Structure 1
Amino acid sequence: MNDGSSAPRVGLFVTCLVDLFRPTVGFAAVKLIEETGCTVEVPMAQTCCGQPAYNSGDRADTRAIAENTIEAFEGYDYVVAPSGSCASMLKKHYPGLFKGDPTWEPRAAAFSEKVHELVSFLVDVRGATRVSAKLEDTVTYHDSCSGLRELDIKAQPRRLINSIEGVQLVEMRDPDVCCGFGGTFCVKYPDISNAIVEKKTENIEASGARTLLAGDLGCLMNMAGKLRRQGSKVEVRHVAEVLAGMTDTPPIAGRG
């Protein structure tokens, strides 16, 4: 742990989707965190946050994953994830897995106190009010369910987006309504999921924005896939990529 005499040490929880599908988001997160005066490390022992198992009722495997994650990140001052969904799992749901365990309950509680979603960390913890990125674009922002409802993330990304030189933020209708992804929900209930995302893409198109931003890659891949199938020209990017000025890579293509 940091004794206060050096830069805070941040352990980056990369997330499965970023690792497998969009590593650029991880590099953007490192850049943004380092710009606030922190050092960033990526523990190699990290795996999944355990949310798919947790949502499917598999508490035993979820707990095993949680123990591994806690051990991998215990030595850091902060744990930051570029995903409201994963950050919420780590922060809000890990402590309950160990309730009544005299050894693991306090470890899980201490761990959860250090966990933050990326943009919330930049604004609420490190006091960031602007970024140095420049981009001529019109963007709209989708509020992911876990980040909004469990971590109270809404104003923070908009504050930083509005600081990007050349960017115009236009709000879509119902930005805080689910996109239909919901992790395993879209697999278990594909018809309902498709109906939900169809309403979301209608609102995205109606906003007139050229680019869709959000803080959760799962949501972004879901919406990007639907937009692509509909022949839309709207580009889709993780908000970290735009805030870090890392927009040279192709936009998110989505699933399906």
Structure 2
Amino acid sequence: MKVNFFVTCLCDTVKANVAKKTVLLLEQLGCEVIFPEEQGCCGQPSLNSGYIEGSKPAMKNLIRAFECNDLPIVTPAGSCAASVKRYPEYLASEPEWAERAQKVADRLFELTQFIVNHLGTVNVGARLEGRAVYHPSCSLIRKLNVREEPLKLLANVEGLEMLPIANQETCCGFGGTFSVKMSEISGEMVKEKVHHISDVEPDYLIGADISCLMNIGGRISREGKPIKVMHIVDVLMSR
């Protein structure tokens, strides 16, 4: 199966290994990965700040980039996928663009969603010894309705014990620009999240959204906790 890869800004600039491992994983699962080079930022930071009109050039550029074919589009960043899914709403005043946006949005899938629901795979042959907590990001569970797919994949990682925590689905406090505009509230939210994670003494914190992992990981680091933060693709590529 041929698929497009939507790399996202965070992968491109901060977590390049997540992008690389995503491509390798998709290839191991039998996909031929295509990278439309015209793609750029989806506009999420400015969209989250309410600058809809100012974000339209970025939205339209991304739409044009993925109109190069009609193949599925896969990304390892749920928050970016959720932003693109809202393009038709943002472009509603321009019917032609809204229609084009809808066609792109319909082909876009978060990585675990694509692997489980479209490739029909829940065991990728991964192995990782230890105890882990999974953080279900707001973008995945609330915006994309991706709740069980990551858990199914993690349940089949040999040697990995998944641990429940209190208030597991509570927001970590990142919320895009929320963490900047409401930094004191955000700080208390991530402090509480790390407290619940630390209570069960895991070896790993696993998530499927880079931004949440950066936020929680930063707090874990500042508190000196011996917990390794991993994107789910890092786990799925462990052998």
TM above 0.5: yes
Residue 210 (structure 2) pairs with residue 217 (structure 1): yes
Match of 1:25 in 2: 18
**Counterpart among 220, 227, 233 of residue 227 in structure 1:** 220
Match of 2:43 in 1: 50
Once residues 7 and 97 of structure 2 are traced to their aligned partners in structure 1, the CA distance between those partners, rounded to angstroms, is 23
**Counterpart among 122, 126, 129 of residue 129 in structure 1:** 122
Once residues 233 and 10 of structure 2 are traced to their aligned partners in structure 1, the CA distance between those partners, rounded to angstroms, is 14
TM value normalised by structure 2: 0.96
Q: 1:164-175 residue pairs with structure 2 within 5 A? A: 164-175=157-168
**Counterpart among 108, 117, 137 of residue 115 in structure 1:** 108
Superposed CA offset, 1:32-83 (max 9, x none): 2223322112222211111111111111221111110011112141111111
SS of the residue 1:166 aligns to: strand
Match of 1:84 in 2: 78
**Counterpart among 147, 150, 154 of residue 147 in structure 2:** 154
Once residues 189 and 231 of structure 1 are traced to their aligned partners in structure 2, the CA distance between those partners, rounded to angstroms, is 24
SS of the residue 2:206 aligns to: strand
8 Å CA contact 2:87–2:98 kept in 1: the answer is no
Question: Aligned Cα RMSD in Å?
Answer: 1.3
Give the total of aligned pairs.
Answer: 238
8 Å CA contact 1:172–1:203 kept in 2: the answer is yes
Post-superposition offset of 1:103: 2.1
Q: Percent identity?
A: 38
Q: Which moved more, 1:235-244 or 1:9-18?
A: 9-18
SS of the residue 1:182 aligns to: coil
8 Å CA contact 1:14–1:82 kept in 2: the answer is yes
Q: Which runs of 4+ in 1 moved over 3 A?
A: none
Unaligned runs of 5+ in 1: 1-6, 247-256
Residue 15 (structure 2) pairs with residue 15 (structure 1): no
Match of 2:98 in 1: 105
Once residues 213 and 135 of structure 1 are traced to their aligned partners in structure 2, the CA distance between those partners, rounded to angstroms, is 12
8 Å CA contact 1:173–1:207 kept in 2: the answer is no
8 Å CA contact 2:36–2:65 kept in 1: the answer is yes
Match of 2:189 in 1: 196
Q: Which moved more, 1:71-80 or 1:100-109?
A: 100-109
Post-superposition offset of 1:175: 1.5
TM value normalised by structure 1: 0.89
8 Å CA contact 1:11–1:76 kept in 2: the answer is no
SS of the residue 2:92 aligns to: coil
Once residues 232 and 60 of structure 2 are traced to their aligned partners in structure 1, the CA distance between those partners, rounded to angstroms, is 30
Match of 1:69 in 2: 62
SS of the residue 1:127 aligns to: coil
**Counterpart among 20, 26, 30 of residue 37 in structure 1:** 30
Match of 1:254 in 2: none
Unaligned runs of 5+ in 2: none
Once residues 199 and 218 of structure 2 are traced to their aligned partners in structure 1, the CA distance between those partners, rounded to angstroms, is 18
Superposed CA offset, 1:170-219 (max 9, x none): 12222211001111011111110000000000011012211000011110
Once residues 115 and 106 of structure 1 are traced to their aligned partners in structure 2, the CA distance between those partners, rounded to angstroms, is 15
Q: Which moved more, 1:115-124 or 1:76-85?
A: 76-85
SS of the residue 1:11 aligns to: strand
**Counterpart among 83, 90, 94 of residue 87 in structure 2:** 94
